[in-house]
Amino acid sequence: MKKAGIIMVIGSLLLLGLFKFPLWNIMLGAPQYPEPLGMNIYLDGIQGVEEFDLQNIDGLNHYIGMKTIPKAEDMWEFSVFPKVILGMSLLGVLIGLLGFAGKVSYKFFIGWFVLMSVLGLLGMYDFNNWLTEYGSDLDPHAILKLNNPDGTPMSYKPPLFGHQKLLNFDVTSLPHIGGYLMFVGMSLTLVAFWLGRKFSLIKAKE
Amino acid sequence: MKNIYKLTIGFLITVVAFTSCGDQKSSKTGGALKSSNAEKVYVAPGEHDSHYAFISGGYSGNLTVYGLPSGRMFKEIPVFSQFPTNGYGYSEETKPLLETSYGFIPWDDSHHPDISQTNGKLDGRWVFINGNNTPRIARISLETFETEEIIEVPNSAGNHSSSFITENTEYVVAGTRFSVPVPQRDMSIKDYKGNFKGALSFISVDPEHGHMDIKFQVLMPGFNYDLSHPGRGKSHGWFFFTTYNTEEANTLLEVNASQNDKDFIAAINWKKIEEYVNNGGGTMMPANYAHNVYDEATHTATSTMKKEVRVVNPAEVPGAVYLLPTPKSPHGCDVDPSGEYIVGNGKLSANLTVHSFSKMLDAIENKKFDGDAYGIPILKFEDVLAGSVEQPGLGPLHTEFDGQGNAYTTFFISSEVVKWKLGTWEVIDRKPTYYSVGHLTIPGGNSREPFGKYMFAMNKITKDRYLPVGPEMEHSAQLYDISGDKMELLLDFPTHGEPHYAAAIPAEIIKNNSKKIYRLAENEHPRKATNDAEAKIVRDGKNVHVYMTMIRSHFSPDNIEGVKVGDKVFFHVTNLEQDFDVPHGFAMIGANNAELLIAPGQTRTLTWEPKQVGVWPFYCTDFCSALHQEMQGYIRVSPADSNIELSWSLGED
């Protein structure tokens, strides 16, 4: 159980990587952009991969009437997400330490994992909603107004995950280092749960 | 008789057999070689060349940037000449770069580019080039590939033995081709001999920002100083100049300056003179010359006139200057990578003369002098001669080195490049050039460490090398692979203007330093407008200052009223883009100067004097975006006595 507690602590601490590294990354390449433009989505805001990328993405997006990329203060998510992640990380560490000391059962580990997964899914859902709104809430006076073959206005929603072609741009959306650290961390808490369970089964047999 | 007949037939058959055999062989190898040579110069679409070449434009006054081995031109950098393509020399910011003591000089004859060095190796920070006609030296940044500074050289005329760099870029050196009265004065041309002087200028280069300052001028006898090169390695601290017209003739030089069997290479111990000057030696003499500096932060050049220059009489600095007799009006003066050999390319000589630096030092130490010229000791030819390449060709001009112990000399008259070995002086190979080669370049050729893979020859005569384009043609260059024992001709490529020298460098030394944009946040132009809110128009008497911005795909403002006939309108246009390779142009109908091409983050000013009442358009000249054609605006010009107030707008109905 000591080992499981340590792994639980490590897994929870890996979430803190999100304060240093981006959660997600969206790259936009085009014939005119052999070096693609890109945005990194951090817990507390969106930044360009290169210094002027956001400005240049906004510059291009004005042709199709998209809003400018939101600043940190424009979205409540960027003030709430850091608190949630910090809270979850501290909670996980606490559970891990208590598990290490034998004060709580391994079931708390899976409890933390389920809570984190629910929060993560809610976060993804919210993120996807924003992408949809960002890609389809277009200025009616946009320079370029394009329709789908069925007559509905074209949406420029970047994909939540993976690649999509938007006009001349190839858009690729994938987790970044912070995101991967979070996934590894969450997986470790599952490992902790499994080790803890194995330990308690062995103990029960004795 | 029959026998003779038989013999003849037999002989003929033999000849035919030999010839046809020879033909077959050569056509086979020729074909195979051609295809491999094509591969050697083929740079696939999207791939990069391995070397940059900076080729002087001669009478274009500019510097062109080429790639090797493809021979593709990437850019023409305006240096001494106005350039309507981007407004250089027309915009208010760049006009000061072309100021001289003769006033605004919008052209020159650019000759010998040389790249800055550290410890005798190319460091790729700047390239320097001389204006030959109105003596000037320019410094070009290899981050922005723009001219950053031009200094005029006083007491000089025909700034030809320039602009060569010492091995730590301590100095860029500029020697005069014509000797002239110093100071200039009204005197009879016939009194040339003994009265005219040849000024050799040592221009210090600030190691941090590259700014140039004439440290001293050596006032030499009235010869013609043709070319020069620095000592390096063991001869670092010396500079060598070829001379002709040591006869000091002032008319019909083609005959009168070709009489002496030997002219000189002047060896200047600049370290010694520097020490002399640092201790207060030399005299400050009144002068008048322009020093023009471009400030990247303000995007603006300023011109200041300097009023004095330090001159040094070489006879007063013992041990500083010696003359090395060199046959027949030597042209190129080239120093090998070790610094030991100084090649005097005697252009009327049958042989190529090579002097030895260590023998020179020895002769100086033992005072083996053969008289003097105006107090400057002349060494004995035999005492300084390292060797000569016997009968290598006709009309030697210039020599470069491959760093493998070989030298490559161009021969103008016999139109060829000859490869020979340093030390043994034997000719190893010769290849024709098309036609009448002047300079040649090996990347790093003027340094301790040449990159001996490619050599290119810059030819003076083109004739039939390309599709005919009328009586006037661009010159032609030829690229050779010199990595093997024999030189191999790989490629012909046309050059722009008349390339004299060129400087070439492996691409990796500079390509990652090349700027993509100017940062708008660092723009300190006094009349910038860094966002739409800063766009405005200010009237100051007859002068109207328009603070304008440009971004894909509009100008702000784009409707202007209240300008009157007789006004002088200054368009101060700032490109707000911060994206690589998104310049915008600005063109005003009836502008008597040029358009502007404005890089991202840059501010440029075009002056326009409206002469006619009406509504006049302006537009972007650089196809910047899908809505480039929409990037336009109007200016209403009212009669001189109109009382319409200045107004401006963007996007208002």
**Torsion angle defined by CA atoms of residues B360, B364, B369 and B371, in that order, rounded to the nearest 10 degrees:** 100
Q: Out of B578, B626, B627, whose CB is closest to A55?
A: B578
pLDDT value, residue B640: 97
Q: B579 to chain A: which residues are within 8 Å by CB?
A: 52, 55-56, 59
pLDDT higher than threshold 70 for residue A51: yes
In a domain, B32, yes or no: no
B509 and B528 assigned to the same domain = no
Residues B467 and B555 in one domain: no
In a domain, B14, yes or no: no
Say which CATH number the domain at B60 has.
Answer: 2.130.10.10
User: What's the pLDDT score for residue B237?
Assistant: 98
Handedness of CA B240, B244, B246, B250 (dihedral sign): negative
Predicted pLDDT of residue B30: 47
Q: Would B606 be classed as within a structural domain?
A: yes
Residues B390 and B501 in one domain: yes
Q: Given this model, what pLDDT does residue B22 score?
A: 41
Last residue of a domain, one of B460, B487, B513: B513
Question: By the 8 A CB rule, do B545 and B527 touch?
Answer: yes
Domain endpoint, select from B486, B513, B540: B513
Q: Do B481 and B539 sit in the same domain of this protein? A: no
Residue B3 within any structural domain of the chain: no
Helical pair A107-136 and A177-205, crossing angle rounded to 10 deg: 160
Q: Produce one character per residue of A16-42: b if its CB has 16 or more CB atoms within 10 Å, e if not.
A: bbbeebbbbbbbbbeeebeebbbbbbb
* The two structure tokens encoding residue A73: 């203060």
A68 touches chain B (CB under 8 A): no
Beta strands B543-551 and B536-540 are: antiparallel
> Is the Cβ of A63 closer than 8 Å to some Cβ of chain B?
yes
User: Which chain B residues are within 8 Å of A63, Cβ to Cβ?
Assistant: 626-627
- CA dist B587 and B14 (Å) reads 74
State how many domains chain B has: 2
Dist CA B202 CA B198 (whole Å): 13
Cα separation, B310 vs B392, in Å, equals 42
* Percentage with pLDDT > 90 across chain A: 84
pLDDT of residue B5: 55
Spatial distance between the Cα atoms of A112 and B91, rounded to a whole number of angstroms: 67
Q: Are residues B446 and B585 in the same domain?
A: no
**Which residues are registered as beta bridge partners of B407?**
B401, B420
Domain end call among B513, B545, B573: B513
- What gap in Å lies between CA B96 and CA B149, rounded to an integer? 10
Residue B414 lies in a domain: yes
Residues B338 and B398 grouped into a single domain: yes
Do B439 and B575 belong together in one domain? no
- Residue A52 has its nearest CB partner, among B552, B578, B626, at B578
Calculate how close chain A gets to B423, using CA atoms only, in Å.
Answer: 51
Are B502 and B524 in the same domain? no
Q: Tens digit of pLDDT for each residue in B81-108?
A: 999 999 999 999 999 999 999 999 999 9
Chain B residues near residue A55 by CB distance under 8 angstroms: 578-579
User: In this structure, are B338 and B478 located in the same domain?
Assistant: yes
pLDDT at site B36: 86
> If we measure between CA atoms, which residue out of B80, B97, B116, B296 comes closest to residue B205?
B116
- Provide the domain limits for residue B525: 520-649
* B463 and B529 within one domain: no
For the segment A160-172, what is each residue's pLDDT rounded down to a tens digit?
999 999 989 999 9
pTM to 2 decimals? 0.91
A121 burial via Cβ count (<10 Å: 0-12, 13-18, 19+): exposed
Sheet holding B385-389, edge to edge: B330-335, B341-346, B352-356, B385-389
Residue B483 DSSP code:
S
Residues B622 and B528 in one domain: yes
Find the helix or strand (DSSP H, E) in which A39 lies. Answer: strand A33-42
Number of H helices, E strands in chain A: 5, 5
Return the pLDDT at B14. 47
B184 and B317 inside one domain: yes
Q: Does B579 sit within 8 Å of A56, measured CB to CB?
A: yes
Using the beta-carbon criterion (under 8 Å), do B578 and A143 form an inter-chain contact? no
Could you tell me if B369 and B377 are in contact, meaning their C-beta atoms sit under 8 angstroms apart? yes
Residue B235 near residue B262, CB atoms below 8 Å = no
Residue B642 located in a structural domain: yes
Instruction: Answer yes or no: is B10 within a domain.
Output: no
Instruction: Report CA B86 to chain centroid distance, whole Å.
Output: 20
Is A59–B577 a contact, with Cβ atoms under 8 angstroms apart?
Answer: yes
Q: What average pLDDT does the segment A81-94 reach? A: 96
pLDDT along chain B (653 residues), means of 10: 52 45 43 73 97 98 98 98 97 98 98 98 98 98 98 97 97 98 97 97 97 98 97 97 95 90 96 98 98 98 98 96 95 97 91 97 96 96 96 95 97 96 97 96 96 97 96 96 96 96 98 97 98 96 98 96 98 97 97 97 98 98 94 98 96 83
- Domain holding B543: CATH number? 2.60.40.420
Within-domain flag for B17: no
Whether this model's ipTM surpasses 0.95 comes out as: no
Tell me the chain A residues in contact with residue B578 when contact means C-beta distances shorter than 8 Å: 51-52, 55-56
